[in-house]
Structure formats: C-alpha cells, structure tokens
Amino acid sequence: MGKNAKEHRKKVAARNQKVKAAQNAYQKLMNEQMQKYLENLRESAMKQQQEETVENNNTTGFTMQ
C-alpha cells in the first residue's frame, strides 16, 4: 500500500469517526426530546383524567371520601 493510500484511509477513518460522533449526538438529543415530550404527555393525561373524575363525581351527586 502506497503513501497516498495510507493517507486516504486515515482521512476516511477520521471522517467516518466525525460522522459517527455527530449521529450519536443527534440520537442522544432526539432521545432526550422524546422523553420530555412523553413526560409532558403523561402529565397532561393525568390532569385530564383527574378533571374527568372530579367532573363525574360532581354530576352524580356522590362524593369521594
């Protein structure tokens, strides 16, 4: 293998390493954003469920103890 081929392989390996690092960073960011979105979704679902429970209790005339 000649000098140029070795240099080229080194450049390609460095480029691939940068691309892989960028992909990992992007994936990590996407996972964090998805976790935040799901947490917000859970919280809003819980609030809605609590509101419906209170609303149902008020319309039936029964109180929860």
Length of the chain: 65
Residue % of the chain over a pLDDT of 70: 89
Q: How would DSSP label each residue in 12-34? A: HHHHHHHHHHHHHHHHHHHHHHH
Locate the domains of the chain by residue range: 21-50
pLDDT tens column, 11-38 = 999 999 999 999 999 999 999 999 999 9
Answer yes or no: is pLDDT of 61 > 60: no
The answer, as to whether pTM is greater than 0.75, is no
pLDDT value of residue 46: 93
